[in-house]
């Protein structure tokens, strides 16, 4: 079965991040530029949080705060829910479902290898199901 490391191999490998002191406006600009819904919050090589469009909507917009003046550290989610690269697709899906998160950093030995989104996981499940259906149809027809 596919694991987190295998799923990351199908992605471009880019890790998009901001620093805790960066403004929320900068974070939103980067998300828009890269067409993504969340950024890792890194201090050097250390993962200290994650900031998402949901954080922005709930912790800036709804509280009438300034995007330009609010630092990412004030709205980021921490500690970050992560998985190891050997986590199975089922384990990843269970984690995002149970923990109600949409982005799942894959971390090994304290180093971020990449991020899996709920979309990545759903696509992997659909692909796996399609392969299984095809194999079953082939088996039945022979």
Give 13-26 pLDDT, tens digit per residue. Answer: 889 999 999 999 99
Q: Check: CATH 3.10.580.10 for 4-141?
A: yes
% of the chain beyond a pLDDT of 90: 80
Q: What is the pLDDT of residue 139?
A: 80
Q: Transcribe 100-139 into DSSP letters.
A: T-SEEEEEETTEEEEEEEHHHHHHHHHHHHHHHHHHHHHH
**Higher-confidence position of 133 and 120:** 120
- For the segment 105-112, the average pLDDT, to the nearest whole number, is 96
Q: What is the pLDDT of residue 24?
A: 97
Q: How many residues belong to the chain? A: 142
Q: What is the pLDDT of residue 70?
A: 95
SS3 88: strand
Q: What is the pLDDT of residue 1?
A: 56
% of the chain beyond a pLDDT of 70: 99
């Amino acid at each position: 079965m596919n694991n987190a490391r295998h799923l990351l191999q199908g992605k471009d490998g880019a890790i998009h991040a901001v620093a805790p002191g960066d403004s929320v406006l900068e974070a939103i600009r980067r998300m828009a530029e890269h067409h993504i819904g969340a950024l890792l919050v890194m201090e050097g090589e250390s993962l200290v949080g994650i900031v998402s469009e949901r954080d922005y909507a709930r912790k800036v917009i709804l509280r009438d705060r300034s995007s330009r003046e609010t630092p990412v550290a004030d709205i980021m989610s921490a500690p970050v829910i992560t998985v190891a690269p050997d986590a199975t697709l089922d384990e990843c899906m269970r984690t995002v479902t149970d923990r109600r998160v949409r982005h799942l950093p894959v971390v090994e030995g304290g180093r971020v290898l990449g991020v899996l989104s709920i979309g990545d996981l759903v696509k992997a499940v659909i692909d796996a199901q399609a392969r299984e259906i095809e194999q079953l149809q082939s088996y039945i027809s022979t």
